[in-house]
Amino acid sequence: MPGDAGRTKGGSRFGAAGRLAFYPARVAARASRGPLESALAESFPEELVDSLVEHRVLERMAAELARTGALDRMVDEALASPRTSELVDRVIASPELRRAIREIAASREVREAVAQQTTGFVEELAAEVRRWARRLDSRIGRGGQTGAGVVTRALALTVDALLIVVVFTAISGFVALISSLVGTLRPAWLVGALLGAGWVLIGGAYFVPFWSAAGRTPGMQLLRVRVRVGSGGPPGVGRAIVRALATWISIVPFFAGYLPVLFDRRRRGLPDLVAGTEVVYAEPEG
């Protein structure tokens, strides 16, 4: 038949690319076939409707519109119409759309997706920092050393110091509020002494429980290092207290107490040498 010959010719002419280009129009024609058939059946004889369906007139019309670009022009004209812009503005400003957006944003699925993305980003960033720190650890010091390097330990101590500052600031603010109600503390040297003693006590209350119970502080957990004794377990409360005091002593003279980390075979600083501990990586180097 001529139609078959035309289709065969068209198929050989355009090949798979032509069929792929006409696919959206064919899908649209199939999707609209049912409603259009019903509408045509109400206004035209049944024989005419059957003939239109049998010869795939609707699909061929849609394919022709797509081929000539008429369909694109119709869509462009519809999008450029002032009525279309007005309709879009009405939909955007509608209370129903705003309510739908609020419900979607407050849904459990969205919250879980955001939490997973945030957690994944933080973990990836922390892993990259750990790899960078360990590469520097291997370059600093002398060969054959074991234990966690100075860069990793410095980053862990920095994180812990920031957390201690947050706790100290909160407690100091509370104490300042109370003192403003009962009167300012005097003399000034007493205030300074109390602040220094409070800093040492808060630091000790931070380090000792973490070291003695888990062998690591939050900063050490982030950098994947831990402190241990010779048997491999965490230090006891007594060793943890000694190590905390030695840590403050090591920090005061420009962190001079950590210089032995660069030369000691097990990379121990003054706190480790005094308390009989060492800091090691909690997982193999990646």
First to last CA, the chain: 70
Angstrom distance (rounded) from CA 154 to CA 223 = 10
Distance, in Å, from the CA atom of 175 to the CA atom of 191, rounded to the nearest integer, reads 11
Q: According to the model, what pLDDT value does residue 278 have?
A: 96
- pLDDT at position 46 is 64
CA dihedral 194, 199, 200, 204 (to 10 degrees): 140
User: For every one of its 286 residues, what pLDDT tens digit does the chain have, with 9 covering 90 and above?
Assistant: 444 444 444 444 444 444 544 455 454 445 445 555 555 455 556 666 666 666 677 777 777 777 787 777 877 777 788 888 888 788 788 888 788 888 888 888 878 888 888 888 888 999 999 999 999 999 987 778 889 999 999 999 999 999 999 999 998 888 888 877 766 666 777 777 878 888 889 999 999 999 999 999 999 999 999 999 999 999 999 999 999 999 999 998 889 999 999 999 999 999 999 999 999 999 775 5
Q: For residues 156 and 149, give the distance between their C-alpha atoms in angstroms, rounded to a whole number.
A: 11
pLDDT at 119: 81
The answer to whether the Cα torsion of 6, 11, 17, 21 is positive or negative is positive
Domain ranges of the chain: 2-98, 129-281
Prior bond to 187 cis, omega within 30?
A: yes
- pLDDT confidence of residue 132: 94
Structure token digits, residue 132 = 């960078």
Question: What percent helix, strand, coil does the chain show, rounded to 5?
Answer: 80, 5, 20
How far apart CA 270 and CA 255 sit, in angstroms, is 10
Assign 225 to helix, strand or coil.
Answer: strand
The pLDDT value recorded for residue 206 is 96
The predicted structure's pLDDT at residue 196: 82
Distances from the Cα of 270 to the Cαs of 43, 69, 235, 250, in angstroms?
97, 80, 16, 7
Report residue 165 as tokens.
Answer: 């500052």
Q: Go through 236-272 and write b for each residue having 16 or more CB atoms within 10 A of its CB, e for each that does not.
A: eeebbbbbbbbbeebbeeeeebbebbeebeebbbbbb
Question: What is the per-residue pLDDT for 94?
Answer: 83
Q: How many angstroms separate the CA atoms of 68 and 126, rounded?
A: 56
Query: What pLDDT, on the 0 to 100 scale, is given for residue 192?
Result: 76
Give the pLDDT of residue 219: 95
- 277/234 Cα distance (integer angstroms): 9
- The pLDDT of residue 21: 45
The residue written with tokens 């879009």 in the block is 88
Residue 44 has what pLDDT?
55
> In angstroms, rounded to a whole number, what is the distance separating the alpha carbons of residues 153 and 281?
10
